[in-house]
Amino acid sequence: MLQKLLPVIIIVVAGALGGGGGFFAKSMMSKGGDKEASHEESEDGHGKDKKKKGGGHGAEEDVGGVTYMKFSRQFVIPVVQRGKPKSMVILDINIMVDNSLNEGAYSLEPRLRDAILTRLLGLAGEDMLPQMLEDVEKMQYMKAALLETSREIMGDAALDVLILDLGIQSY
């Protein structure tokens, strides 16, 4: 009888000790220890609480009079030559927008996505997208073309186009 109960008793005791230890560790971590160890009141300003902005995909970040409009998805552009796909280009694009447009920028996203995608497909037809990795001038040309397209939709509130990520997959 004891041989059958001993494993059950060991499991219950180990579970209780593990749960108690976890609760104790969590409560100690939330207190932050003493003031000397936490660095919260350092004289040189290090370790003080800093407010984090709620960034993330699709969020706006405020930086001195401008807002960065983040598209909800990346742009995927096929590069086609002679009717056959040659490669696939993936771009993560943000647009620097004047604060005057602020919340209205996201209401323009569908029209803006359509215009930018159309322009990117045109650039892909000119074989501009794969070459921009090799030539900085072509990258600048593409950014200027996308800024021009953005300004057609947003007006002068579009200040710059930022390319955050770029991926090319050859077939």
Q: Which residue has the higher pLDDT, 13 or 148?
A: 148
Residue 28 confidence (pLDDT): 65
pTM for this model (two decimals): 0.60
Say what the alpha-carbon torsion angle 14, 15, 17, 23 is, to the nearest 10 degrees: 160
* Interval 1-52: pLDDT, tens: 777 787 888 888 888 887 777 777 766 665 544 444 444 444 444 444 444 4
3-10: long-range contacts, CB 8 A cutoff, minimum separation 24: none
Please determine, for residue 85, whether its predicted confidence score (pLDDT) is greater than 50: yes
Percentage with pLDDT > 70 across the chain = 76
CATH class in words for 61-170: alpha beta
Sign of the torsion angle spanned by Cα atoms 123, 125, 130, 131: negative
